[in-house]
Amino acid sequence: MAVQQAAGADPYFPEHGDPRYRVHRYELALDYRPGPNRLSATARINAIAGRSPLTEFVLNLADFKIGRVRVDGRQPHYTHRGGRLRVRPAKPVRAGAAFTVEVHWSGNPKPVNSPWGGVGWEELEDGALVASQPIGAPSWYPCNDRPADKASYQISITTPSAYAVVAGGRLLTRTTKASTTTWVYEQAAPTSSYLVGLSIGKYQTVLLGDPGLGGVPQHGHIPAHLLADFSRDFARQPQMMDVFQELFGPYPFDEYAVVVTEEELDVPVEAQGLSLFGANHVDGGRGSERLVAHELAHQWFGNSVSIADWRHIWLNEGLAKYAEWLWSERSGGRTAQQLASAAHRLLSSMPQDLRLADPGRKAMFDDRLYERGGLTLHAVRCALGDIAFFRMLRSWGQLHRGGTVTTAAFTSHVARFASEPVDELLRAWLHGPALPPLPGAETRAAG
- Of the CA atoms within 13 Å of residue 138, those in its CB half-sphere come to 26
> Distance between CA 74 and CA 156 in Å, rounded?
24
**Strand pairing report for 180-191 and 170-177:** antiparallel
Could you tell me the sign of the dihedral formed by the alpha carbons of 438, 443, 445, 447, in that order?
negative
For residue 90, the tally of other CB atoms under 10 A from its CB is: 12
Q: Is 298 annotated as a binding residue?
A: yes
Q: Which of these, 341, 345, 340, 329, lies nearest to 293 by C-alpha position?
A: 329
Order the strands of the 170-177 sheet from edge to edge: 65-71, 98-107, 38-49, 21-33, 151-160, 180-191, 170-177
Catalytic residue positions, numbered? 295, 370
> Distance between CA 383 and CA 380 in Å, rounded?
5
Q: Is the peptide bond before 14 cis (omega within 30 degrees of 0)?
A: no
Order the strands of the 77-81 sheet from edge to edge: 57-60, 84-88, 77-81
Orientation angle between helical segments 367-384 and 386-399, nearest 10 degrees? 120
> Distance between CA 354 and CA 346 in Å, rounded?
14
User: Quick one: how far is CA 201 from the chain centroid?
Assistant: 21
| Four-CA torsion 332, 333, 334, 339, nearest 10 degrees | -130
Q: Which of these, 299, 203, 210, 300, lies nearest to 248 by C-alpha position?
A: 300
For residue 212, the tally of other CB atoms under 10 A from its CB is: 7
> Distance between CA 15 and CA 94 in Å, rounded?
24
As beta bridge partners, residue 184 has 156, 173
8 A C-beta contact, residue 318 and residue 369:
yes
3-state secondary structure at position 249: coil
Q: Is 294 annotated as a binding residue?
A: yes
8 A C-beta contact, residue 251 and residue 241:
yes
> Distance between CA 152 and CA 186 in Å, rounded?
8
> Distance between CA 135 and CA 138 in Å, rounded?
7
> Distance between CA 220 and CA 369 in Å, rounded?
30
> Distance between CA 358 and CA 429 in Å, rounded?
12
Task: Output the known binding site.
Answer: 294, 298, 317
Task: Output the known binding site for Zn(2+).
Answer: 294, 298, 317
